[in-house]
Amino acid sequence: MHRVIMLAVVVLASAAALAQTQPPRAPVRPGSSPTASTPDPNQPRPIDALDTVFMEDMTWMEVRDAMRAGKTTAIIATGGIEQSGPYLALGKHNVVLRATCDVIARKLGNALVAPIIGLVPEGDYDPPSGHMKYPGTVGVRPETFKAILTDVAAAMKAHGFAHVILLGDHGANPPGMREVAETLARQWAGSRTTIHVIPEYYDYDGATRFAESLGVHEVDEGLHDDFVITSIMATVNPDSIRARQRMAKGKFSINGVGLAPLDKTVAIGKKIVNYRANVTVEAIRKALAKTSATQ
């Protein structure tokens, strides 16, 4: 018995000494366990899905289940961060896309919207040209824009989307978008994913004529701003057009068109969004039908 006790004492002493020589194990930070980054891709969604078509606002389970339910068209929209006069937020194009893409995707019925690509070509850096001459504008090189667009489209293909739709809300975007679409169309030939640029989306002349049919008649004030854009932005966030600040200074108008009452401007903006969405959805369906006919 004495020997057993002595042996136990020696073992315990040795274990204590070993513990003192080894650094203590760091506790696992919540959210960083191995299972956190590799969840079962088929596990059931535990809560109801949010009613949105924007992927960045969805959980991965919501995107998965939406695709399984038939939403296999991915819309990739490109906007911009640029000067737009004294009243509009720099992210004007991105705000417009939040309004238009929501309605377009819902009208299509089988589409989700990828994160909006908000950084696009805006001019040279040194010396600054175009909108880059104005503080806050953020532009990227054309090759950077095309690389980002290529990678986002590739991500949509990797996730299994059947169709990738490119929409541009900025005049400098279409050339790069067409080049990317043509390149990827060749690379993806024979695969289950198609890619399309829809130029009909960026028909501001048509949108302006539609606004005129609603009684909106503008005169040029020399600003990078107009009623169509302003009213669409107002449907998303009136602060993006500085509604309260302009009212306080008696500046709540654009190109000779009064914006008060705000509710009326928002109502017209929604009609313009709906018009643009209808034009775009028709063009998308024609493009997809043409592809189906040639396959």
pLDDT tens per residue, range 224-274: 999 999 999 999 999 999 999 999 999 999 999 999 999 999 999 999 999
pLDDT category at 295 given cuts 50, 70, 90 is low
Q: Structurally, what CATH architecture does the domain formed by 50-202+276-294 represent?
A: 3-Layer(aba) Sandwich (3.40)
Question: Model-level pTM?
Answer: 0.89
pLDDT of residue 37: 84
Mean pLDDT along residues 201-209 = 96
The rounded percent of the chain whose pLDDT value lies above 90 is 84
pLDDT greater than 70 at residue 23: no
Position 172 pLDDT exceeds 70:
yes
Q: Where are the domains of the chain?
A: 50-202+276-294
Average pLDDT of the segment spanning 42-66: 98
First vs last Cα of the chain: how many Å apart?
Answer: 87
Instruction: Using the predicted structure, report yes or no on whether residue 6 has a pLDDT greater than 70.
Output: no
User: Looking at residue 33, what is its pLDDT?
Assistant: 78
C-alpha–C-alpha distance, residues 288 and 163, integer Å: 8
What is the structure's pLDDT at 10? 43
Higher pLDDT among residues 28 and 204, named by residue = 204
Residue 31 has pLDDT above 90, yes or no: no
Q: Which token pair is 64?
A: 């998965």
What is the pLDDT of the chain when averaged over all its residues? Answer: 92
Interval 78-128: pLDDT, tens: 999 999 999 999 999 999 999 999 999 999 999 999 999 999 999 999 999
